[in-house]
Amino acid sequence: MASVSVEAVRKRYGALEVVHGIDIVIPDGEFVVLVGPSGCGKSTLLRMIAGLEEISGGIIRIGERVVNEVPSKDRDIAMVFQNYALYPHMTVRENMGFSLKLRGAGTSVIVEQVRRAAEILSLSSLLDRYPKQLSGGQRQRVAMGRAIVRNPQVFLFDEPLSNLDAKLRVQMRTEIKALHQKLKTTSIYVTHDQIEAMTMADRIVVMHDGIVEQVGTPLDLYDRPANLFVAGFIGSPAINLLRGTLRRDGGRNWVATDAGIDLPLGGNAGGKDGQAVVYGFRPEHLALGNDGGLPVRVDVVEPTGASTFVYADLSGAQICGVFTERHGFHSGETMHLMPQLDRVHLFDAGTGHRLVG
Amino acid sequence: MSLRKIFNEARLMLLGIVIFIWTLIPIYHLFVMSITPRVETFAGALWPSRPTLENYETVVKQGHYYLEHFWQQLWNSAFVAVMVCAITLAIASTATFAISRLRVRGGRLVSNMALATYLIPPAFLAIPMYKVMGVYGLLNTQWSLILTMVTFASPYAIWVLKQYADKLPYELDEAARIDGASPLQIFRLIYLPLMAPSLVAIGTYALLLAWNEYLYAFLLLSADKDITLAVALGHFLTTDDAPFNVLMATGAVYALPPAAIYYVFRRYMVSGLTAGAVKS
Ligand SMILES: Nc1ncnc2c1ncn2[C@@H]1O[C@H](COP(=O)(O)OP(=O)(O)OP(=O)(O)O)[C@@H](O)[C@H]1O
Ligand SMILES: [Mg+2]
């Protein structure tokens, strides 16, 4: 096991730079998820760590060793690919034992290691099958088995679950996490699915257009998004964002929207009077206000059983609320909703940065 | 099934039958003449009145002036074909591995140029090739024919093989690299096994191209003991009263190995080993 550190790493394809200087330090044993929209460069970064892409600038270390010029096979890493990349002409056993065989391990070592990995992943009964005789979930597990069989320093995953159906994805998510808790191998996991990131990560790295937007624990990112991008990317249903002007008058702070609504703020809000800001609150941080809250007209009500999603119109802006109590909303009715003041996020409208008081 | 559909299928079926018969007529002709006694050669019967194997006996026992070296010539044909097959496979598999998998710079250019060589019909190159072989002192050796045929088979082999190689998921190579494989190991342990069906198809192509070659064999080889069977068959026609029955019997024997090879490898021509490699 080893730490991984990425220092000012850049990637250029010809004249086009797609990764613009990324710094991440991943301590030994941590499970880090790289998340971001399609095309943001997460696969590229992962592949540079794997040694499958050249590094155009910066330094990547695995443990103490700078690996910029070290070929993949000598980096002591294992990778799970989105499409599994199982060798179709080899049985599950041969697939899993391949790396050990290449490294010249003895037959007894290979047999023992494959047996151990197969047991961990419940693959023991499938060892003599060929990849084409396996279901998607089983192939996924074999790909994992191939990775864990030789005890690498680092596991790399590139969207390993995106080819599975929704139910299996949730199940494998749990399995991968359990596996990590058992093996404690440093892991870097790429996904564009923020739920996957939230549920699996010790720490999340949010990427966007080739830069890192924020690094933190899942709850950090959720509770204190550093900017508008992270606020909008993390959380489902998405955070409500309303544009307006910050007003300070004596001890009272509020945000005045262009539509003439005054959005309430707590006492410790940052920012200057007159500043253009974005006011954000998450759907579940809305309470039924009596007459004091924001007047909204309910458009759509979606009960899921556990909670109820309410989509409503606030003077032309659409907002979403999630309620765990069954209030009995009706579409068309007008009601008052109140954001929890200590859960309101304020961002500068120009830079998108979080304003702290 | 509607009447119209039945009619359409019947039409296609009829067309198929006509083409099938059209294709078979020469072969049938060859077979019938090969089992017809010499005296009846041009009787024109659909089936000889007294079918006989005497023509085949003549061939096998080398019992005719034109067949003195029959076995030697059959062997020559086989040797040339097998060598052309092996060398073409070696060239095409390593070349496509470099172009498609190692992604060597300029690889695409090479494979496009390979195809461009087909703009010149091989017959046009007969004299230049003859000169080249003369310069290297290879005339009248079987290696001249082998090298020539490899020259003609390789570009097409590379082109076709590259199409298949490009279809192998690149992640397989990447997975193997991470697993610790060197390029040579990827070639041997991943590429060759996965390309086996295409290699068999390409190998068969090269084998038959060489086996059937007449022009270059005629040009580059002359001694009776060196020539291939195709050239020997041509010699039959140098007299006015060619022994057609014996010629046809020899032709039938000559056609057997290709037919057998097609039959044995028909499975490889169609099967795709890569099923299950990645989720499609
Ligand atoms: N070989 C290449 N040549 C040029 N540009 C490339 C190449 N590979 C990737 N890119 C570009 O680099 C950027 C990052 O690609 P990357 O594959 O890392 O995205 P990603 O974050 O993994 O997205 P996804 O979620 O769709 O997999 C993209 O804009 C892509 O177009
Ligand atoms: Mg990607």
Q: Are the beta carbons of A157 and A185 closer than 8 angstroms? A: no
Residues in chain A with CB shorter than 8 Å from the CB of B194 are 88-89
CA distance A157 to B39: 80
CA distance B53 to B51: 7
CA distance B28 to B50: 17
pLDDT of residue B270: 56
CATH number at residue A271: 2.40.50.140
Q: Minimal CA–CA distance to A343: which of A269, A285, A267?
A: A285
* Pairing state between β A240-249 and A252-256: antiparallel
Burial-class residue A44 by CB neighbours within 10 Å (0-12, 13-18, 19+): buried
Residues in chain A with CB shorter than 8 Å from the CB of B172 are 85, 87
Residue A288 β-bridge partners: A337
Residues in chain A with CB shorter than 8 Å from the CB of B177 are 51-52, 71-73
Domain contains A354: no
Q: Whose CA is nearest to atom 31 of ligand 1?
A: A39
- Tokens found for residue B248: 């046809």
- Dihedrals phi, psi of A337, to nearest 5 degrees: -120, 145
Same domain? For A93 and A214 the reply is yes
pLDDT of residue B43: 65
Domain contains A306: yes
CATH number at residue A78: 3.40.50.300
CA distance A186 to chain B (A): 17
Residue A246 CB partners (closer than 8 Å, separation 6+): A253, A255, A269, A271, A272, A273, A274, A275, A276, A277, A346
Task: Report CB contact under 8 Å: A73, B180.
Answer: yes
* CB-closest option in A130, A133, A136 to B279: A136
Over residues B2-28, the mean pLDDT reads 92
Torsion sign across C-alpha atoms B173, B175, B178, B181 = negative
Residue A190 β-bridge partners: A34, A158
Same domain? For A223 and A286 the reply is no
Task: Report CB contact under 8 Å: B179, A146.
Answer: yes
pLDDT at residue B278 greater than cutoff 70? no
* CB-closest option in A50, A84, A136 to B178: A50
Scan residues 70-109 of A and list those with Cβ closer than 8 Å to B: 71-73, 77-79, 81, 83-89, 98-99, 102-103
The Cα-based distances of B67 to A126, A272, B224 in angstroms read: 60, 107, 10
CA distance B251 to B162: 35
Whole-number Å distance, alpha carbon B98 to ligand 2 midpoint, is 26
At residue B280 the predicted structure's pLDDT band, cuts being 50, 70 and 90, is very low
pLDDT tens, position by position, B218-240: 999 989 899 999 999 988 888 77
Whole-number Å distance, alpha carbon B201 to ligand 2 midpoint, is 36
Same domain? For A138 and A160 the reply is yes
Residues in chain B with CB shorter than 8 Å from the CB of A163 are 279
Whole-number Å distance, alpha carbon A42 to ligand 1 midpoint, is 8
Same domain? For A39 and A67 the reply is yes
CA distance B118 to B28: 33
Domain contains A353: no
CA distance A204 to A18: 20
Residue ending a domain, choose from A232, A263, A291 = A232
Which ligand 1 atom is at minimum distance from the Cα of A40?
21
Query: What whole-number percentage of chain A has pLDDT above 90?
Result: 85
At residue A292 the predicted structure's pLDDT band, cuts being 50, 70 and 90, is confident
* CB-closest option in B182, B194, B279 to A83: B279
Domain contains A156: yes
pLDDT of residue A210: 96
CA distance A245 to chain B (A): 51
* CB-closest option in B178, B190, B278 to A83: B278
Query: What whole-number percentage of chain B has pLDDT above 90?
Result: 57
Task: Report CB contact under 8 Å: B276, A99.
Answer: no
pLDDT tens, position by position, A129-164: 999 999 999 999 999 999 999 899 999 999 999 988
Q: Minimal CA–CA distance to B273: which of A131, A82, A126, A99?
A: A131
Task: Report CB contact under 8 Å: B193, A139.
Answer: no
Same domain? For A120 and A267 the reply is no
Residue ending a domain, choose from A217, A232, A247 = A232
* CB-closest option in B171, B182, B193 to A85: B171
Interface of B with A (CB under 8 A): 169, 171-172, 174-182, 185, 189-190, 193-194, 273-279
DSSP, collapsed to helix, strand or coil, labels residue A190 as strand
Same domain? For A227 and A283 the reply is no
Same domain? For A110 and A195 the reply is yes
Q: Minimal CA–CA distance to A88: which of B102, B267, B272, B160?
A: B272
Task: Report CB contact under 8 Å: B181, A73.
Answer: yes
pLDDT tens, position by position, A174-190: 999 999 999 999 999 99
Residues in chain A with CB shorter than 8 Å from the CB of B276 are 86, 88, 130-134, 139
Neighbours of A269 (CB within 10 A): 19
DSSP secondary structure string for all residues of chain B: --HHHHHHHHHHHHHHHHHHHHHHHHHHHHHHHHTS-GGGTT---SS-SS--SHHHHHHHTT-SGGGTTHHHHHHHHHHHHHHHHHHHHHHHHHHHIIIIIS--TTHHHHHHHHHHGGGS-GGGGHHHHHHHHHHTT-TTSHHHHHHHHHHHHHHHHHHHHHHHHHHS-HHHHHHHHHHT--HHHIIIIIIHHHHHHHHHHHHHHHHHHHHH--HHHHHH--STTTS-HHHHHHHGGGSSS--HHHHHHHHHHHHHHHHHHHHHHHHHHH--TTTTSS--
Same domain? For A120 and A147 the reply is yes
Same domain? For A332 and A205 the reply is no
CA distance A244 to A229: 18
Contacts 24+ apart (CB under 8 A), B107-113: B110/B158, B111/B158, B111/B159, B111/B162
Residue A12 β-bridge partners: A17
CA distance A114 to chain B (A): 14
Domain contains A355: no
At residue B192 the predicted structure's pLDDT band, cuts being 50, 70 and 90, is very high
Over residues B260-270, the mean pLDDT reads 78
- Tokens found for residue A84: 């599994």
* CB-closest option in B172, B174, B274 to A52: B174
Angle at A258 between CA A269 and CA A264, to 5 degrees: 30
pLDDT tens, position by position, A104-131: 999 999 999 999 999 999 999 999 999 9
- pTM of the predicted model as reported, rounded to 2 decimal places: 0.85
Maximum CA extent, chain A: 79
Number of domains in chain A: 2
Q: Minimal CA–CA distance to B197: which of B229, B161, B247, B147?
A: B161
Using CA atoms in the order B8, B10, B16, B22, what is the torsion angle rounded to 10 degrees? Answer: -120
- Ligand 1 pocket list (CB less than 6 A): A 13, 18, 36, 38-44, 192
pLDDT of residue A260: 87
Domain limits for position A270: 239-348
CA distance A217 to chain B (A): 30
Residue B19 CB partners (closer than 8 Å, separation 6+): none
Torsion sign across C-alpha atoms A136, A233, A217, A65 = positive
Burial-class residue A194 by CB neighbours within 10 Å (0-12, 13-18, 19+): buried
- Tokens found for residue B146: 């082998």
pLDDT tens, position by position, B35-49: 988 877 766 777 888
Q: Are the beta carbons of A337 and A296 closer than 8 angstroms? A: yes
Which ligand 1 atom is at minimum distance from the Cα of A82?
27
At residue B273 the predicted structure's pLDDT band, cuts being 50, 70 and 90, is very low
DSSP 8-state secondary structure symbol assigned to residue A329:
-
Same domain? For A298 and A184 the reply is no
- Tokens found for residue A354: 């979080």
Domain contains A357: no
DSSP 8-state secondary structure symbol assigned to residue A89:
T
Residue A357 CB partners (closer than 8 Å, separation 6+): A268, A269, A270, A271
- Dihedrals phi, psi of A2, to nearest 5 degrees: -160, 160
Whole-number Å distance, alpha carbon A38 to ligand 2 midpoint, is 7
Maximum CA extent, chain B: 73
pLDDT of residue B274: 38
Same domain? For A225 and A86 the reply is yes
ipTM entry = 0.87
CATH numbers and ranges of domains, chain B: 3-52 (no CATH), 65-273 (1.10.3720.10)
Neighbours of B184 (CB within 10 A): 9
Domain contains A52: yes
Task: Report CB contact under 8 Å: A87, B185.
Answer: no
Same domain? For A219 and A330 the reply is no
DSSP 8-state secondary structure symbol assigned to residue A47:
H
Query: What whole-number percentage of chain A has pLDDT above 70?
Result: 99
Residue ending a domain, choose from A180, A207, A232 = A232
Q: Are the beta carbons of B206 and B84 closer than 8 angstroms? A: yes
Q: Are the beta carbons of A355 and A271 closer than 8 angstroms? A: yes
Q: Are the beta carbons of B169 and B275 closer than 8 angstroms? A: no
Burial-class residue B106 by CB neighbours within 10 Å (0-12, 13-18, 19+): exposed
pLDDT of residue A323: 93
Count interface pairs A-B at CB distance under 8 A.
Answer: 79
Whole-number Å distance, alpha carbon A3 to ligand 2 midpoint, is 23
pLDDT tens, position by position, A217-242: 999 999 999 999 999 999 989 999 99
DSSP 8-state secondary structure symbol assigned to residue A8:
E
Probe residue for ligand 1, chosen from A33, A40, A82, A157 as the CB with the greatest number of ligand atoms within 8 Å:
A40
Nearest CA in chain B to A53: B174
Q: Which among A72, A95, A114, A151 is the top mutation candidate for probing chain B, defined by the most B β-carbons within 10 Å of its own β-carbon?
A: A72
Residues in chain A with CB shorter than 8 Å from the CB of B171 are 81, 83, 85
Over residues B151-172, the mean pLDDT reads 92
Domain contains A356: no
Which amino acid appears at position B133 of this protein?
Answer: M
Residues in chain A with CB shorter than 8 Å from the CB of B273 are 88-89
Q: Minimal CA–CA distance to A54: which of A102, A18, A86, A85?
A: A18
CA distance A7 to chain B (A): 22
